[in-house]
Amino acid sequence: MADTGIFATTAEVGYKAGANCSATSKAEAYVNSFMTQVESFINAATRKNWSDAYSGLNVDVKGILKECASDLAAIYVIQFDMSGFTSRGEAELMINVLYQRAMDCIEILKDKATESFVAGA
């Protein structure tokens, strides 16, 4: 099976989910499903279809999309099974950090102040 996500790869999601995440939830089939969901969420939340425009975007915009998508997908990987983490608090802290960064990326993509940066992509 190959990566089917547009914005980020299974490996990039795995980096963020950490060493203690479930082998099942970080498997490519699961991550591909998570990526489909988060890419749709990003498109809906920002009211722009980044998936269709992806090939024409500049590297900086692609980097923001990669960060956002891998953060959100890693949250799904972590929450699938938290038993491998040293504590529930460890997993929750990782989820909170990933969520905040993803929301920061969403705001950057939506922000009118960066419209010319995004439009110039």
With 0-12 / 13-18 / 19 or more C-beta atoms within 10 angstroms meaning exposed / middle / buried, residue 6 is middle
Question: For the whole prediction, is pTM greater than 0.85?
Answer: yes
Q: Which of 71, 59, 65 is nearest to 109 (CA)?
A: 65
pLDDT tens for the chain, 121 residues long, are 788 899 999 999 999 999 999 999 999 999 999 999 999 999 999 999 999 999 999 999 999 999 999 999 999 999 999 999 999 999 999 999 999 999 999 999 998 656 776 676 6
| Distance in Å from the first CA to the final CA of the chain | 31
Integer Cα distance of 50 and 31 in angstroms: 19
CA–CA separation, 67 and 76 (whole Å): 15
- What is the predicted pLDDT for the residue at 112? 60
